[in-house]
Amino acid sequence: MPMRSRLPGLADAAIAVAMAGVLYYLALRVRLWEDFYVESAPAVRALIAGRLHSFLTLAPVYGGSLLLQAPASLLGGAIAGLDGAYRFGSLFCIGALCALALWLARLQRADGRRLPARLLAIAVVVANPAASWALKEGHPEEILAAAMCVGGMLLLLRGRVSAAAILLGLAVATKQWALLALPLAFVAAAGERLRFSILAGASAALLAAPMALANAGRVIATNRGLSASPDIFHPQQIWWALHLYYMRPLGGPTSTIFGPSPVAFVASYSHPLIVLCAVLLAFAYWSRRRRVEPSDALLMLALVLLVRCMLDPWNVIYYQFPFLLCLAAWEIATRRRAPLLALLASGLVWLSFRPVNLGSSGDATDLFYLTWALPAALLMLWRSLRLPRPRPLDAIRRLPRDRRAAALARR
């Protein structure tokens, strides 16, 4: 290709690298990564030491992500030990996110979007504050799973069923919340559902198999534990009014960190309810299949991921990233515009979990979060299902003439 025709792509690549640098600096300039040291560090130490069986045995519930990051973690561990392993593994996950951002930028170039619009899109996708906090708290796999989940849905909507199924299956084995995308993807794979199901299940099983074979009992116990949320209870969710009014130690009876606790119903059934909502929303999309476009499934997936956040008592800032990424992809790939809604939602997410959360009571934080999240969910539901607008004037026109005048007078 002539150099002049390659310049826009090279400019997008340079912007993506710059935004990745911003994300890396904001997230990793301070050594926090607390969940990494608690959950993943024992397995990563074993990997660096060459003890493969111990690595598979000690892997956390999202051990599939550690397998995907293993080459980068080994390289980083050889250079700078455990910290280097985390940094290089994070770079691998950021690289997957940059690949998705460049694909979306390519779609923008095909639509004739200029550089400022592409800059905004790449910045919203890559240098997102929710992604930054995923890295700060030790969960780079959240970024990797989000990129694979949204990328898989985009591939599916473009007719590449096999690639989409493999990518979504790997996303499920990377982080279990990606399971929420499968009912909707199954509905969207019209005519290819059997092939999609086989490939998605096989790819997820292939990535999860090493951990299951090494320690099946631990894998079963940790996945079973995902169905309940007995300890952590944050204000940014719809169940906040149902918390118990005494403080309990978080992390066990010897913990020095105390917080509110959910009532028994919320603790036991909130996570299964999230899965049920994903199935019901997929069924609603299927029931409107003659009125919706295939691309509407991407907005419906963003709704599913937002509902997951609102219904999860553990809701933290990086849980919002898959929703934000999917919303940005819908605006770019479907609406053919800059991701302004995703930019606005990213700002509201940051406000909800940082300044508002730190400077307000739990009740005020909950109110602020639900003030924008609930209307956003309802608007996304209406738009993704293409529900009809209410037309009161049309109903009035159908009235007899003598009643029409009285009805218009009352209006």
Residue 117 CB partners (closer than 8 Å, separation 6+): 108, 338
pTM value > 0.85: yes
Helices (H), 137-181: 141-157, 161-174
155 token code pair: 């591939």
- Number of Cβ within 10 Å of residue 286's Cβ equals 15
Residue 3: predicted pLDDT: 58
256 token code pair: 């020095």
| DSSP letters for 266-304 | HHHHHHHHHHHHHHHHHHHHHHTTTTS-TTHHHHHHHHH
- CA angle centred on 198, ends 281 and 176, rounded to 5°: 55
Residue-wise pLDDT tens for the chain (411 aa)?
A: 565 678 888 999 999 999 999 999 989 887 778 899 999 999 999 999 999 999 999 999 899 999 999 999 999 999 999 999 999 999 999 999 999 999 999 999 998 889 999 999 999 999 999 999 999 999 999 999 999 999 999 999 999 999 999 999 999 999 999 999 999 999 999 889 999 999 999 999 999 999 998 888 777 777 776 777 667 788 999 999 887 655 565 555 555 556 677 888 888 899 999 999 999 999 999 999 888 888 899 999 999 999 999 999 999 999 999 999 999 999 999 888 899 999 999 999 999 999 998 888 889 999 999 999 999 999 999 999 988 876 654 554 554 555 555 655 665
Three-class SS state of 129 = helix
* Burial of residue 372 (number of CB atoms within 10 Å: 0-12, 13-18, 19+): middle
Print the SS3 string covering 94-126: HHHHHHHHHHHHHHHHHCCCCHHHHHHHHHHHH
Residues 187 and 297: beta-carbon distance below 8 Å: yes
Residue 408: predicted pLDDT: 55
Strands 258-262 and 243-249 turn out to be antiparallel
- Nearest CA-CA partner of 224 in 182, 272, 169: 272
DSSP 61: T
